[in-house]
Chains A and B, each alone.
Chain A
Amino acid sequence: MFSEFLINTWIAGSVVAVVAGLVGFFVVLRGSSFLAHALPHGAFAGAAGATLLGLDPILGMGVFAVGGALTVSTLGRRGRNDVVTALALVVMLASGALFLSLGSQYSAEVFALLFGQILGVSSAELLPILALGAVCVVAVVVAYRPLLLASVLPEQAAARGISTFGLSVFFAVLVGLATTMSVPVVGALLMFSLLVGPPAAARLFSADPLRAIPLSIGFALVIVWASIAAAYLSSLPVGFFVTLGSAILYGAGRGWFAIAARRPAAA
């Protein structure tokens, strides 16, 4: 399980988990689950398009995910956000389907892009994943305070001279980047679950961001590690275990607190 050809997967998976736990915290805080669901689809289209043109898939994913992020955040400013997000999502997915059909890929490759595979990470792919991961972490650390304020109290942030629109564009691009690096491992349709599950569970345990963020990263790491191991042992798709892990974790957290909340009330 820890042999040569899986080492890259363990490293890439861990980086993805750290970034997902960190960025995901703000996704849950800002209530942008739908955005986090939509952008990976853009990455899928980008990967398919780049393969068609013979380019590096990660380049295509970056361009499409960031482009999608900019489209959603600028169009969503004037129009209705959920409508724009939904439409951007389907247009990107449909483009992905077009690129794939033009390129006559095997459906196994489509499947890997959508649902992830653990054997897909080569040494050449590892470097961009690490670099993008570092960029995401640095971006969150630098913009931590304004991002937090604008997410929780948008009016107050605006009063302090923070551009909430600028920040929402910044955040959308951040989610786009986090998505780009994760698609080769977790898959376009399922990255979303890693962005929402661990942070949502972490926020059940602590409202303090400085505690919830490490907890969220920890949860994400455990889920990814367990999923890689399970996928290796069972040879089922890794994305299935990631979503299952997220759901179990969140469900267990909700259940635990539902019981805990009932006890003092009864006493």
Chain B
Amino acid sequence: MSIPSENTIRIYVMGSAYEVPRGLTIMDAMEHAGWRFTRGAGCRSGFCGACSTVYRHEGDYRLRFVLACQTEAEDGMYLVQLPFTPAPRVSYTLAALNPDENVLLQHYPEIARCVSCNTCTKACPQDIEVMDYVQAALRGDIAQTASLSFDCIQCGLCSMRCPADIKHYHMAQMARRVYGRYMSPITEHLEERIVEIEKGVYAEEVDALVKMTRGELEEIYAARVVE
């Protein structure tokens, strides 16, 4: 293999060296090197958590955690992907549960094993304060758990690293749903509109529009007043 030039870098995928162009994401760099993903690539935009990647720089004592699709490959990265986390989730019936301060602890009792080591937070490629939301869950603060975990893409790296075997992201998903259903206020005009539609208040108007010619619609469209 040639020596990395100004325009190339050397990365190590599970220990094997590859020379790739500078300026690619880790994902693109691995593909350039000849990898074709089935696992380890999903939305390719940082929203799905399929491309969780762990790396260490040559000479660095610590592991780093990123999304391969969102991170530029750098010279001397030792990479491995962790595209799946074996973390059981707990089934529940949202409509039937009691949304009190113990609901998260009841479904995920292992959150009480948290020793506040903060390893989860350090492993989060989304920079979420993971330990803080686990702690919020532990004291029954569902709103805080939901809000701190809002950006979670469920990649699972937190749960892979946790010495207390907590399933952070499943618990947080549940917290967001409990919050959304039980603690977020309902907008009244939504219900009113649904009733109106059920009663057929708009049926005649929309039926008329459905039957219109293109020309007639164009006229109405041109006359729209934009709010």
Whether A and B are associated in the same complex: the answer reads no
Binding site for A on B (CB under 8 A): none
